[in-house]
Structure 1
Amino acid sequence: MFNQLALSFLLSGLVAVLAYWRGSLAPSGVAGALLVGTIICGLGGWVWGILLALFFVSSSLLSHYKEREKQAVAEKFDKGHQRDLGQVLANGGGGALVALIYGIFPSSWWFLLFLGIMGTVTADTWATELGTLSKRPPRLITTGRIVPVGSSGGISLFGTAVSFMGGLLIGLTAGLLTQMNLVGLTITGGIGGLAGSLCDSFLGATVQQIYYCDVCEKETEKKAHCGQPTRPIRGWGWMNNDVVNFLSSFFGGGTAVLVYSLLVT
C-alpha cells in the first residue's frame, strides 16, 4: 500500500502542478488536489483515481469553453474557475472521505457511493459550465419562476440534460473499468449525478446564503461585489456554495447506492 500511496502522491502532484500552470487551480487548490488525489487513488485504487481525473479534466476543459460568453454570469458566483482549497475539498473531499473508509473497511458499496459522488460533482459542474449557455432562461427549481442566468437554484432543460450526461460518463467509465454490471453502473452514474445536481439546485434556491449588491442591483453569492460589501438577503450564513456542493455530492452518492441495489437485485 505504501508504494501505491507514494506513486499516487507523485502523480497527483504532477497533475496539480500542471493544473496550476494552466490556471485551473489556485495555490491553495494545489495542496487540496494533492491531498484528495493521493487519498482517492492511493486507498481506493486506480479506477477511483481515473474517475477523479475524468471529473477534474473534463470540468477544467469546460471551464475554459466560451469564457467570454460566460464572463458576465461568472460575476455572480462566489468563486471563479481557478479552484481554491475550499472548492477542491467541496468537490473531491467527499470522495476522499469514502476512499479513506474503504481503505479501512473494504466493500463494493463504498465504490458505489464514490461513483455517485463523482457523478454528482461532474454533473453539477457540467450543468454550470454549459447550462449557462442555454438559449432559454432558467427557472427556479422550487417555483418554476424565470430567473436570470446564473441564479442559484435556477435550472434549464439543457442544463439538466447536460448534468445527466456528465453522470452517465462517470458511470460508463466505471463500468468499462470494472467487472461490475456495465449497464447498471452507467444508469447509476447518470441518475445519481442528476439527483445530486438537482439537490444542489434545491439547496441553492432555499438555504444557500445569497447576497444583494446595491451598486448593480443584482443578487450574488459574493460577500463583496462592484468593490462594495453586499448584504445578505436569504439563506443560512454558513451555507455557502462549497458546503452546498459537499452535501449534494453525498445525496447523489446515496442515490447511486439505492439505484444500483434496485437494478441488480
Structure 2
Amino acid sequence: MIDQLVLAFFLSGLVAALAYWRGSLAPSGVAGALLVGTIIYGLGGWVWGVLLALFFITASLLSHYKEQEKQAVAEKFDKGHRRDFGQVMANGGGGALVALLHGVFPSHWWLPVFLGIMGTVTADTWATELGTLSKRPPRLITTGNVVPVGTSGGISPFGTAVSFVGGLLIGFVAGLLGQMNLVSLTVISGIGGLVGSLCDSFLGATVQQIYYCDICDKETEKKVHCGQPTRPLRGWGWMNNDVVNFLSSLFGGATAVLVYSLLVA
C-alpha cells in the first residue's frame, strides 16, 4: 500500500502542476488536489483515480468552453474557474473520505457511494458550465418561477439533461474499466448524480447564503461586489457554495447506494 500511495502522490502532483499551469487551479487548489488525488488513488485504487481524473478533466475543459459568453453569469458566483482548496475539497473531499473508509474497512458498498459522489460533482459541474448556455431561462426549483441565468437554485431542461449525462459518464467509464456490470453502474451513477445535482439546486434555492448588491441591484454569492460589501439576503451564514457542493455529493452517494441495493445487492 505504501508503494501505491507514493505513486499516487507523484501522479497527483503531476496532474496538479499541469492544472496550475493551465490556470485551472489556484495555489491552494494544488495542495487540495494533491491531498484528494493521493487518498483516492492510493486507497481506492487506480480505477477510482481514473474517475477522479475524468471529473477534473471534463470540469476544466468545460470551464473554458465559451468562456466569454459565460462571463456575465460567472461574476455572480463566489469563485472563478481557478479552483482553490475549498472548491477542490467540496468536489473531491467526499470521494476522498469514502476512499479512506474503503482502505480501512474494505467493502463492495463503497464503490456505489463513490460513484454517486463523483456522479454528483460531475453532474453539477456540467449543469453549471453548460446549463448557463441554455436558450431557455431557468426556473427556480422550489417555485417554478423564471429567474435570471446564474441564480442559485435555478434549473432548466437543458441543464438537467446535461447533468444526467455527466453522471451517466462516470458510471459508464467505471463499467468499461471492469467494475461490475456496465449497465448497472451507469444507471447507479446517473441517478445518483442527477439526484445529487438537484439536491444542490434545492439547497441553493433555500438555505445557501445569498447576498444582494445595492450598486447593481443583483443577487450574488459574493460578500463584495462592484467593489462594495454586499448585504445578506437569505440563507444561513455558514452555508456557502462549497458546503452546498459537499453536502449534495454525499446525498448523491447515499442515493446511489439505494439504487445499488435495488439493482445489484
For normalisation by structure 2, the TM-score amounts to 0.99
- CA-CA distance at 1:146 after TM superposition: 0.2
Structure 1, unmatched stretches of 5+, are none
Query: Counterpart of 2:109 in 1: which secondary structure?
Result: helix
Question: What is the aligned partner in structure 2 of residue 192 from structure 1?
Answer: 192
1:204 equivalent to 2:204? Answer yes
Query: Counterpart of 2:69 in 1: which secondary structure?
Result: helix
Question: What is the aligned partner in structure 1 of residue 3 from structure 2?
Answer: 3
Structure 2, unmatched stretches of 5+, are none
Work out the CA distance in 2 between the residues paired with 1:192 and 1:112. Answer: 9
1:148 equivalent to 2:148? Answer yes
Question: What is the aligned partner in structure 2 of residue 111 from structure 1?
Answer: 111
- CA-CA distance at 1:39 after TM superposition: 0.2
Note closer, same or farther for the CA distance 1:179–1:235 as it changes in structure 2 (3 Å cut). Answer: closer
Question: What is the aligned partner in structure 2 of residue 50 from structure 1?
Answer: 50
Question: What is the aligned partner in structure 1 of residue 24 from structure 2?
Answer: 24
- CA-CA distance at 1:103 after TM superposition: 0.3
- CA-CA distance at 1:179 after TM superposition: 4.1
Note closer, same or farther for the CA distance 1:82–1:179 as it changes in structure 2 (3 Å cut). Answer: closer
Question: What is the aligned partner in structure 2 of residue 174 from structure 1?
Answer: 174
Work out the CA distance in 2 between the residues paired with 1:179 and 1:19. Answer: 28
Note closer, same or farther for the CA distance 1:55–1:179 as it changes in structure 2 (3 Å cut). Answer: closer
Work out the CA distance in 1 between the residues paired with 2:179 and 2:230. Answer: 52
Work out the CA distance in 1 between the residues paired with 2:160 and 2:260. Answer: 21
1:83 equivalent to 2:83? Answer yes
- CA-CA distance at 1:182 after TM superposition: 1.0
Moved segments of 4+, more than 4 Å: none
Work out the CA distance in 2 between the residues paired with 1:204 and 1:90. Answer: 15
Question: What is the aligned partner in structure 2 of residue 242 from structure 1?
Answer: 242
What number of residue pairs does the alignment pair up?
A: 265
Question: What is the aligned partner in structure 2 of residue 262 from structure 1?
Answer: 262
1:39 equivalent to 2:39? Answer yes
Identity %: 84
- Give the letter for the 2:42 counterpart: G
- Give the letter for the 1:214 counterpart: D
Work out the CA distance in 1 between the residues paired with 2:185 and 2:212. Answer: 42
Question: What is the aligned partner in structure 2 of residue 93 from structure 1?
Answer: 93
For 1:179-223, what per-residue CA distance to the aligned partner results, in whole angstroms no more than 9, with x for missing partners?
411111001111000000000000000000000000000000000
Work out the CA distance in 2 between the residues paired with 1:208 and 1:119. Answer: 21
Query: Counterpart of 2:212 in 1: which secondary structure?
Result: strand
- CA-CA distance at 1:178 after TM superposition: 2.3
Query: Counterpart of 1:23 in 2: which secondary structure?
Result: coil
Question: What is the aligned partner in structure 1 of residue 129 from structure 2?
Answer: 129
- Give the letter for the 1:61 counterpart: L
- CA-CA distance at 1:263 after TM superposition: 1.3
- Give the letter for the 1:259 counterpart: V
Query: Counterpart of 1:40 in 2: which secondary structure?
Result: helix
- Give the letter for the 1:86 counterpart: G
Counting only pairs closer than 5 Å after superposition, residues 210-221 of structure 1 correspond to structure 2 as: 210-221=210-221
Work out the CA distance in 1 between the residues paired with 2:202 and 2:175. Answer: 29
- Give the letter for the 2:248 counterpart: S
- Give the letter for the 1:77 counterpart: F
